[in-house]
C-alpha cells in the first residue's frame, strides 16, 4: 500500500497531502528512509499521509487528520528522511531542521495533537501552485522549539 508523505515547510509553501508523491516511490533508492516511514502505523484505508513537522516528529495521520502514530526523529534520522526529496527542495529544508531533535518533544499532547502551525494545510488552496515549486507544492512552520 502506498502512503502520501509530507514535509512541513513555511506557510507560504504549504502542500496539501493530496498533492504529494508517494513516499514509497521517493524511497526506492533509500532503504533507511523507507524503514523510518514503514516503522509507523498507517491508515488501513490508504486515505492517510505521513508528515514531518519542524518539531522533528514524523507523524502518520488518517484521512480525517487524526494522528495514528508518531516517531520523534533524531537529527541523523531527519537527514536520512530528507534525503529522497528532490535536491532543490532539500536545500530549502535542511536549514529548517538545523538543530532540531524530535526526541526533545516529550509532551504526549503535542505528539498526538500538534499545534496548528505544525500541521499540513487542510486544502490545496493553502499551498503554492505546482509550477512555482517544480511540482512539489510545499509548506513550512516554526516548531524548532519543541513545543
In this prediction, residue 28 has a pLDDT band, given cuts at 50, 70 and 90, of low
pLDDT at 123: 62
In this prediction, residue 120 has a pLDDT band, given cuts at 50, 70 and 90, of confident
pTM for the predicted model, two decimal places: 0.70
pLDDT at 139: 31
Averaged pLDDT score across all residues of the chain: 74
pLDDT at 122 over 50: yes
SS3 67: strand
In our burial notation (b when 16+ CB lie closer than 10 A, e otherwise), range 55-67 reads: bbbbbbbbeeeeb
How does pLDDT run across 82-119, given as a tens digit for each residue? 998 899 999 999 999 999 999 999 999 999 999 999 98
Question: What cell does 112 get?
Answer: 498526538
- Cβ-Cβ contacts under 8 Å for 129 (sequence gap 6 or more): 137
In this prediction, residue 21 has a pLDDT band, given cuts at 50, 70 and 90, of very low
CA 11 – CA 109 distance, rounded (Å): 23
CA 131 – CA 118 distance, rounded (Å): 24
- Quote the radius of gyration of the chain (alpha carbons, Å): 14
Amino acid at each position: 500500500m502506498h502512503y502520501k508523505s509530507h514535509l512541513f515547510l513555511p506557510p507560504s509553501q504549504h502542500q496539501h497531502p493530496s498533492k504529494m508523491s508517494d513516499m514509497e516511490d521517493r524511497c526506492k533508492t533509500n532503504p533507511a528512509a523507507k524503514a523510518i516511514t514503514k516503522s509507523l502505523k498507517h491508515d488501513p484505508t490508504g486515505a492517510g499521509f505521513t508528515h514531518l513537522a519542524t518539531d522533528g516528529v514524523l507523524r502518520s495521520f488518517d484521512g480525517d487528520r487524526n494522528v495514528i502514530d508518531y516517531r520523534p526523529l533524531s537529527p541523523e534520522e531527519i537527514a536520512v528522511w530528507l534525503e529522497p526529496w528532490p535536491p532543490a527542495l532539500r536545500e530549502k529544508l535542511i536549514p529548517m531542521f538545523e538543530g532540531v531533535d524530535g526526541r526533545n518533544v516529550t509532551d504526549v499532547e503535542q505528539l498526538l495533537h500538534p499545534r496548528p502551525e505544525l500541521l499540513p494545510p487542510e486544502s490545496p488552496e493553502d499551498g503554492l501552485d505546482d509550477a512555482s515549486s517544480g511540482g512539489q507544492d510545499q509548506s513550512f512552520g516554526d516548531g524548532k522549539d519543541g513545543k
